[in-house]
Protein backbone atom coordinates (compact mmCIF):
# COMPACT_ATOMS: atom_id res chain seq x y z
CA UNK A 1 0.00 0.00 0.00
CA UNK A 2 2.76 2.46 0.85
CA UNK A 3 4.58 1.65 -2.37
CA UNK A 4 1.49 2.54 -4.37
CA UNK A 5 0.97 5.72 -2.41
CA UNK A 6 4.61 6.74 -2.89
CA UNK A 7 4.37 6.00 -6.59
CA UNK A 8 1.25 8.17 -6.84
CA UNK A 9 3.03 10.97 -4.99
CA UNK A 10 5.93 10.66 -7.47
CA UNK A 11 3.48 11.06 -10.36
CA UNK A 12 1.88 14.06 -8.77
CA UNK A 13 5.27 15.60 -8.05
CA UNK A 14 6.24 15.30 -11.72
CA UNK A 15 2.90 16.67 -12.88
CA UNK A 16 1.75 13.25 -14.10
CA UNK A 17 -1.36 11.75 -12.56
CA UNK A 18 -0.60 8.23 -13.82
CA UNK A 19 -3.76 8.42 -15.91
CA UNK A 20 -3.64 6.49 -19.19
CA UNK A 21 -4.24 9.69 -21.17
CA UNK A 22 -1.12 11.22 -19.61
CA UNK A 23 0.91 8.09 -20.29
CA UNK A 24 -0.17 8.07 -23.95
CA UNK A 25 0.51 11.77 -24.26
CA UNK A 26 -3.06 12.54 -25.30
CA UNK A 27 -4.72 14.25 -22.34
CA UNK A 28 -8.24 15.64 -22.70
CA UNK A 29 -9.02 13.95 -26.05
CA UNK A 30 -12.34 12.26 -26.53
CA UNK A 31 -12.34 8.83 -28.21
CA UNK A 32 -13.67 10.44 -31.39
CA UNK A 33 -10.87 13.03 -31.43
CA UNK A 34 -8.29 10.34 -30.76
CA UNK A 35 -9.66 8.21 -33.65
CA UNK A 36 -9.53 11.24 -35.95
CA UNK A 37 -5.92 11.91 -34.92
CA UNK A 38 -4.96 8.29 -35.65
CA UNK A 39 -6.80 8.38 -39.00
CA UNK A 40 -4.87 11.49 -40.00
CA UNK A 41 -1.58 9.60 -39.40
CA UNK A 42 -2.57 6.47 -41.36
CA UNK A 43 -1.92 5.69 -45.01
CA UNK A 44 -4.54 6.74 -47.58
CA UNK A 45 -7.35 4.23 -48.22
CA UNK A 46 -6.94 1.76 -51.05
CA UNK A 47 -10.46 2.03 -52.43
CA UNK A 48 -13.26 -0.39 -53.24
CA UNK A 49 -11.52 -2.17 -56.16
CA UNK A 50 -8.55 -3.12 -53.97
CA UNK A 51 -10.89 -4.31 -51.21
CA UNK A 52 -12.86 -6.39 -53.71
CA UNK A 53 -9.68 -7.87 -55.18
CA UNK A 54 -8.14 -8.74 -51.82
CA UNK A 55 -11.38 -10.35 -50.63
CA UNK A 56 -11.62 -12.46 -53.80
CA UNK A 57 -7.96 -13.52 -53.57
CA UNK A 58 -8.39 -14.54 -49.92
CA UNK A 59 -11.58 -16.45 -50.77
CA UNK A 60 -9.76 -18.20 -53.63
CA UNK A 61 -6.91 -19.22 -51.33
CA UNK A 62 -9.47 -20.56 -48.83
CA UNK A 63 -11.34 -22.58 -51.46
CA UNK A 64 -8.07 -23.97 -52.86
CA UNK A 65 -7.05 -24.98 -49.34
CA UNK A 66 -10.35 -26.79 -48.81
CA UNK A 67 -9.97 -28.69 -52.09
CA UNK A 68 -6.42 -29.74 -51.20
CA UNK A 69 -7.53 -30.72 -47.68
CA UNK A 70 -10.32 -32.88 -49.10
CA UNK A 71 -7.68 -34.70 -51.15
CA UNK A 72 -5.79 -35.46 -47.94
CA UNK A 73 -8.92 -36.87 -46.32
CA UNK A 74 -10.96 -35.40 -43.50
CA UNK A 75 -11.63 -38.45 -41.36
CA UNK A 76 -14.15 -38.18 -38.54
CA UNK A 77 -14.38 -36.16 -35.35
CA UNK A 78 -13.05 -39.08 -33.32
CA UNK A 79 -10.37 -40.01 -35.88
CA UNK A 80 -9.28 -36.92 -37.81
CA UNK A 81 -7.00 -37.34 -40.81
CA UNK A 82 -4.35 -35.12 -42.35
CA UNK A 83 -6.85 -32.80 -44.05
CA UNK A 84 -9.01 -32.02 -41.02
CA UNK A 85 -7.25 -28.93 -39.66
CA UNK A 86 -6.25 -27.52 -43.05
CA UNK A 87 -9.90 -27.84 -44.13
CA UNK A 88 -11.16 -26.06 -41.00
CA UNK A 89 -8.63 -23.23 -41.33
CA UNK A 90 -9.37 -22.88 -45.07
CA UNK A 91 -13.10 -22.78 -44.34
CA UNK A 92 -12.56 -19.99 -41.79
CA UNK A 93 -10.45 -18.04 -44.31
CA UNK A 94 -13.18 -18.41 -46.94
CA UNK A 95 -15.98 -17.35 -44.59
CA UNK A 96 -14.03 -14.30 -43.38
CA UNK A 97 -13.13 -13.31 -46.96
CA UNK A 98 -16.76 -13.55 -48.02
CA UNK A 99 -17.83 -11.59 -44.95
CA UNK A 100 -15.37 -8.86 -45.90
CA UNK A 101 -16.63 -8.97 -49.48
CA UNK A 102 -20.32 -8.59 -48.62
CA UNK A 103 -20.48 -7.04 -45.16
CA UNK A 104 -17.15 -5.30 -44.60
CA UNK A 105 -17.45 -3.03 -47.63
CA UNK A 106 -20.39 -1.27 -46.00
CA UNK A 107 -18.41 -0.64 -42.82
CA UNK A 108 -16.98 2.60 -44.16
CA UNK A 109 -13.37 1.67 -43.43
CA UNK A 110 -11.16 1.03 -46.44
CA UNK A 111 -7.89 -0.85 -46.25
CA UNK A 112 -4.66 1.03 -46.63
CA UNK A 113 -2.90 1.43 -49.96
CA UNK A 114 0.17 -0.67 -50.62
CA UNK A 115 3.33 1.03 -49.43
CA UNK A 116 6.99 0.03 -49.35
CA UNK A 117 6.25 -1.73 -46.04
CA UNK A 118 3.76 -3.96 -47.87
CA UNK A 119 6.74 -5.81 -49.32
CA UNK A 120 7.43 -7.13 -45.83
CA UNK A 121 4.28 -9.27 -46.00
CA UNK A 122 5.36 -10.66 -49.38
CA UNK A 123 8.82 -11.40 -47.98
CA UNK A 124 7.24 -13.20 -45.01
CA UNK A 125 5.07 -15.26 -47.34
CA UNK A 126 8.03 -16.23 -49.55
CA UNK A 127 10.05 -17.35 -46.53
CA UNK A 128 7.07 -19.42 -45.40
CA UNK A 129 6.97 -21.09 -48.83
CA UNK A 130 10.69 -21.82 -48.48
CA UNK A 131 9.97 -23.50 -45.13
CA UNK A 132 7.31 -25.71 -46.73
CA UNK A 133 9.66 -26.60 -49.60
CA UNK A 134 12.65 -27.38 -47.34
CA UNK A 135 10.87 -29.36 -44.59
CA UNK A 136 10.60 -32.66 -46.51
CA UNK A 137 14.23 -32.34 -47.62
CA UNK A 138 15.97 -31.34 -44.38
CA UNK A 139 13.41 -31.89 -41.64
CA UNK A 140 11.63 -29.15 -39.80
CA UNK A 141 14.43 -28.07 -37.42
CA UNK A 142 16.73 -26.13 -39.78
CA UNK A 143 14.04 -24.40 -41.90
CA UNK A 144 12.04 -23.53 -38.77
CA UNK A 145 15.11 -22.11 -37.07
CA UNK A 146 15.92 -20.01 -40.14
CA UNK A 147 12.31 -18.87 -40.55
CA UNK A 148 12.02 -17.82 -36.91
CA UNK A 149 15.34 -16.00 -37.06
CA UNK A 150 14.53 -14.15 -40.30
CA UNK A 151 11.08 -13.15 -39.07
CA UNK A 152 12.31 -11.97 -35.68
CA UNK A 153 15.42 -10.18 -36.92
CA UNK A 154 14.36 -8.70 -40.24
CA UNK A 155 10.59 -8.45 -39.93
CA UNK A 156 10.35 -7.95 -36.17
CA UNK A 157 13.44 -5.81 -35.64
CA UNK A 158 14.82 -7.90 -32.76
CA UNK A 159 18.50 -7.77 -31.86
CA UNK A 160 20.81 -10.48 -33.20
CA UNK A 161 21.07 -12.06 -29.76
CA UNK A 162 17.33 -12.01 -29.07
CA UNK A 163 16.45 -13.33 -32.54
CA UNK A 164 18.94 -16.19 -32.15
CA UNK A 165 17.83 -17.09 -28.62
CA UNK A 166 14.11 -16.94 -29.37
CA UNK A 167 14.50 -18.93 -32.58
CA UNK A 168 16.32 -21.73 -30.79
CA UNK A 169 13.74 -21.73 -27.98
CA UNK A 170 10.83 -21.89 -30.45
CA UNK A 171 12.33 -24.82 -32.38
CA UNK A 172 13.24 -26.71 -29.18
CA UNK A 173 9.70 -26.14 -27.86
CA UNK A 174 8.12 -27.35 -31.11
CA UNK A 175 10.40 -30.40 -31.12
CA UNK A 176 9.46 -31.22 -27.52
CA UNK A 177 5.74 -30.80 -28.18
CA UNK A 178 5.30 -32.32 -31.62
CA UNK A 179 8.06 -34.95 -31.84
CA UNK A 180 8.65 -36.04 -28.25
CA UNK A 181 5.25 -35.30 -26.73
CA UNK A 182 2.78 -36.04 -29.51
CA UNK A 183 4.91 -38.33 -31.66
CA UNK A 184 3.80 -36.70 -34.92
CA UNK A 185 5.23 -37.71 -38.27
CA UNK A 186 6.72 -34.31 -39.12
CA UNK A 187 10.01 -34.80 -41.00
CA UNK A 188 12.85 -34.23 -38.53
CA UNK A 189 16.61 -34.73 -38.28
CA UNK A 190 16.92 -36.11 -34.74
Q: Which of 110, 143, 165 is the last residue of a domain?
A: 110
Q: What is the DSSP string of 36-96?
A: HHHHHHSPPB--HHHHHHHHHHHHHHHHHHHHHHHHH--B-SSSB-TTHHHHHHHHHHHHH
Same domain (yes/no): 58, 124: no
Same domain (yes/no): 144, 157: yes
Q: Which of 82, 110, 138 is the last residue of a domain?
A: 110
Over residues 86-118, the pLDDT tens digits come to 999 999 999 999 998 887 666 555 566 667 777
The answer to pTM > 0.85 is no
How large a percentage of the chain has pLDDT more than 90?
A: 30
Same domain (yes/no): 120, 149: yes
Same domain (yes/no): 121, 99: no
**Residue 146 is part of which domain span?**
116-190
Q: 13 or 40: which carries more pLDDT confidence?
A: 40
Q: Which of 110, 131, 151 is the last residue of a domain?
A: 110
Over residues 120-167, the pLDDT tens digits come to 888 888 998 998 898 888 888 899 999 999 999 988 889 999 999 999
Amino acid sequence: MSITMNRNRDYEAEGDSGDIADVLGTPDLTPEELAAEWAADSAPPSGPIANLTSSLVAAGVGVAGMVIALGLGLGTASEPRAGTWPFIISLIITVLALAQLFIGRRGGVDGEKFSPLSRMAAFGFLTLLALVWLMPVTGFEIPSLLLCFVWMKFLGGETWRAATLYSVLVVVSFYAIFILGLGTSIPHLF
